[in-house]
Amino acid sequence: MIIVADASPLIFLAKLGHLDLIWHLSDADIHLSALVRDETLNPKMADAERQELNDFFARCHLHPSQQTHSFATAMSLADNDTLALAIRLRAGRVLADDRILRATAEAKGIRPLGTLGLLLAAMRKGALTQPETRRLLDALVGLHDFRIGIAVYQAVLAQIDRHGE
């Protein structure tokens, strides 16, 4: 399945040291735009994060920016480029956390999957244990400034807890 990745899930998974979880998606064929790659590589990031991202990018299909579509002015250039690439490639999924990007992708028939959904999918496939998934969720929110509402946090916790039943 063709999956087009946006920056946010890549950044957060690299912070957690778990970019490898993306490869647990069934037959993941990851594509991203050069804008997304550039957005993820912050000059102030830790060396381990940078190395993990560069190793990840070496396994992906990198596309030059098209910058021909603007689906929403509220989306960044990279988000617009991600959606344009997903449409052009007829991707089955787009990895994204941005609400507008996710909603627009869904309206175009592309299933979105965010960082939290990826953690839950990895847990369901056995790539993460319940305690690991909870620890990573708490690290995202507590250490890495991953912004979610209380209701979303509680819903994800409930899914983690139900997995053990």
Measure the CA–CA gap between 78 and 154, rounded to whole angstroms: 30
Q: Which amino acid is at 135?
A: R
Residues 6 or more apart in contact with residue 137 via CB below 8 angstroms: 116, 119, 153, 156, 157, 160
29: burial class by Cβ within 10 Å (0-12, 13-18, 19+)?
middle
pLDDT tens sequence across 69-90:
666 667 788 898 999 999 999 9
pLDDT beyond 80 at 3: yes
Other CB atoms within 10 A of residue 33 CB: 28
Q: For the chain, what percent of residues have pLDDT higher than 90? A: 73
Enter the pTM of the model: 0.90
Domains, the chain, ordered by start:
2-114 (3.40.50.1010), 116-163 (no CATH)
Share of the chain above pLDDT 70, in %: 93
Window from 26-35, 67-76, 121-130, 138-147 with minimum mean pLDDT = 67-76
Q: CA-CA distance, 68 to 35, in Å (whole number)?
A: 13
